[in-house]
Amino acid sequence: MKAYVIQKYNKKNGLTLVEMPEPVLNEDEVLVEVFAAGVNLLDSKIKNGDFKLILPYKLPLILGHDVAGKVVKVGTQVKKFKVGDEVYSRPADFRIGTFAEQIVINQNDLALKPKNISMEEAASIPLVGLTAYQALVELANLKKGQKVFIQAGSGGVGSFAIQLAKHLGATVATTTSSSNFELVKSLGADIVIDYRTENFETILKDYDLVLHSQDAKTLNKSLNILKPGGKLISISGPPDPKFAEEIAAPWFIKLILRYLSFRVRKKANQLKVSFVFLFMRAEGQQLSQISGLINSGYIRPIVDKVFPFEKTNEALAYVESGRAKGKAVIKVR
C-alpha cells in the first residue's frame, strides 16, 4: 500500500511517499480502507520532533491521526463491526498512520461514521471532536448557564467546541479575526473578540472555564478571567505532572514536565483556579456519542479544503500556516 512517512524528524522536509506492506491484523482489530484523513497541527509537531520525548515513535513512521473509511477485514474477536461498515476514528497513540491506503485500528477506538455527512467531513471530526468532548464534558462537566471562553474559534478544535458548548447550554466567548466573525457566530458564539485589535482580558470576567489552545502569554491572561473555582484546560501545554503519570514517563521526563508547568500551576493556585493539561486519547465510545450529535444536527463539520492524496505535503503545509477555517482533509480514495 502507499503511505506518507516521516523518515527522520525534520522541520524543513516534507513527508515521503513509500510502498508499505499491508498491515497485520490482530484478533481485536479492524482493517480499514482509508477514504479520507484529517490533517492536524499535531501531525506537524510530531514530524518536527516536538513530541519525541513524550511520544517516542520508531521511524520511519506513517503519519496521520484522523480517518474515515470502510471495514475490509475484522479480527476473530471483533464483535462491534463487520465488513462493509463505514467507520471513523482517531487511532490510539503508537497506532497512528492514517496518511495511507489502509490502517489497522483496535475496535475500541472505532465508531460508525455519522450517516448524514461525507467521508471527507467525517475524517475532519475525530481528533478535534474527542478533544472538545474530553475537555468540556469529561473534565469540565460543563453545565447549562456556565460561561466558557474558547480560544481560536474558527480553528479545528474551536469550531467544534463552540457547537458542543452551545448544545450543553453554556454562554460562549471566542477569539478570531474579523473575517471569521460570521462563521463563529453561525456556530453559536455569543461574544466574538477580534484578537488582532482587542484584548479579551479586559472584556471577559468571571468565567467558569477556558479552553486554551494558544501561547504562554495568552495562557497567563486567560487565568485572570476565571472566577474562583474556575478551570483552565490547555491543549497546547505546558504538560503537567498528572500527564507525566498518565503516560508513565521516566523520572527525568516527569522532572522536566513538573518544571515546565511550575509557574502556571503556581499562578493558578494563587488565583484559586485550576490548571489541567489535556492530551486527548482515542475513545470509540465517546466518538459514538459525537456521531449521535452529528446525526441529530446539533454539530456540523467545518471543512476548509480537501486535498488529493498526492498533495498530502501541501495539506500539511496549509495547516501549519494557521489559515485553515475548521479542518483540512486529504481525500485518499
Q: Check which CATH number belongs to the domain holding 102 and give it.
A: 3.90.180.10
Mean pLDDT over 171-191 rounds to 97
pLDDT attached to residue 155: 95
Residues 60, 137: one domain? no
Which class for 314: exposed (0-12), middle (13-18), buried (19 or more C-beta within 10 A)?
A: middle
The answer to whether position 184 is within a domain reads yes
Rounded (10°) CA dihedral 63, 65, 70, 76: 90
Residues 133, 157: one domain? yes
Instruction: Give the pLDDT band of residue 231 (cuts 50, 70, 90).
Output: very high
CA-nearest of 170, 88, 173, 152 to 126 is: 88
pTM recorded for the entire structure: 0.97
pLDDT attached to residue 126: 98
Residues 136, 264: one domain? yes
Residues 322, 253: one domain? no
Residues 115, 199: one domain? no
Residues 260, 307: one domain? no
Residues 131, 111: one domain? no
Residues 114, 159: one domain? no
How much of the chain exceeds pLDDT 70, in percent?
100
In this model, does residue 122 exceed pLDDT 90? Answer: yes
The answer to whether position 287 is within a domain reads no
Domain hosting residue 15, numbered range: 2-125+301-331
Which among 262, 277, 292 is the end of a domain? 277
The answer to whether position 238 is within a domain reads yes
Here the CATH number for the domain that contains residue 255 is 3.40.50.720
pLDDT in tens, 203-224: 999 999 999 999 999 999 999 9
Residues 62, 22: one domain? yes
The answer to whether position 294 is within a domain reads no
pLDDT attached to residue 226: 98
pLDDT in tens, 259-311: 999 999 999 999 999 999 999 999 999 999 999 999 999 999 999 999 999 99
The answer to whether position 56 is within a domain reads yes
Mean pLDDT over 25-34 rounds to 97
pLDDT attached to residue 211: 98
pLDDT attached to residue 106: 98
The answer to whether position 43 is within a domain reads yes
Residues 138, 262: one domain? yes
The answer to whether position 286 is within a domain reads no
The answer to whether position 293 is within a domain reads no
Instruction: Give the pLDDT band of residue 5 (cuts 50, 70, 90).
Output: very high
Residues 241, 155: one domain? yes
Instruction: Give the pLDDT band of residue 160 (cuts 50, 70, 90).
Output: very high
Number of domains into which the chain is organized = 2
Q: Are strands 171-176 and 29-39 parallel, antiparallel or unpaired?
A: unpaired
In this model, does residue 322 exceed pLDDT 90? Answer: no
Residues 10, 117: one domain? yes
